Amino acid sequence: GNSVTQMEGPVTLSEEAFLTINCTYTATGYPSLFWYVQYPGEGLQLLLKATKADDKGSNKGFEATYRKETTSFHLEKGSVQVSDSAVYFCALSVMKTSYDKVIFGPGTSLSVIP
């Protein structure tokens, strides 16, 4: 079946540190891949996405590249800020009949300290 695995947290970094959150997936066919972010007390929001192999999604300084050969979609940011503290969810979308069924990973909590 389709599934998403991501590194367990919590992850604690100092401000301006480099961030990597690993994500790997298993899917039939060619899924679209996403990173969603959930800030404290807020709903999930789409951070970035990639719809085909070698695509790079980017937003707010975050990047992730769709690697079909390694079935990965690792999230990176060169210099994190305190405001990046949140829970990050890797997800994939597989067209199921007439809609996209989104499958989420368990989430990785990130805390950035000044």
Positions touching another protein (CB under 8 A) are 4, 32, 36, 41-46, 49, 89, 91, 93, 95-107
Alpha-carbon distance 19 to 79, whole Å? Answer: 7
- In angstroms, the CA 73 to CA 31 distance is 12
Shortest distance, position 71 Cβ to another protein, whole Å: 17
The DSSP output letter for 37 is E
Taking the complex as a whole, the smallest distance from the CB of residue 9 to another protein amounts, in Å, to 10
Q: How far is the CB of 67 from another protein (least distance, A)?
A: 21
Rounded Cα distance between 80 and 111, Å, is: 10
Q: Please, which residue, 19 or 37, has the CB nearer to another protein?
A: 37
Q: Which is nearer to another protein, 17 or 55 (CB)?
A: 55
> Whole-angstrom Cα distance, residue 114 to residue 112?
7
Owner of token pair 């590194």:
7
Q: State the maximum Cα–Cα separation within the chain, in Å, rounded to a whole number.
A: 47
| Minimal distance, residue 112 CB to another protein, in Å | 21
| Nearest residue (CB) to another protein, 17 versus 24 | 24
Q: Which is nearer to another protein, 3 or 79 (CB)?
A: 3
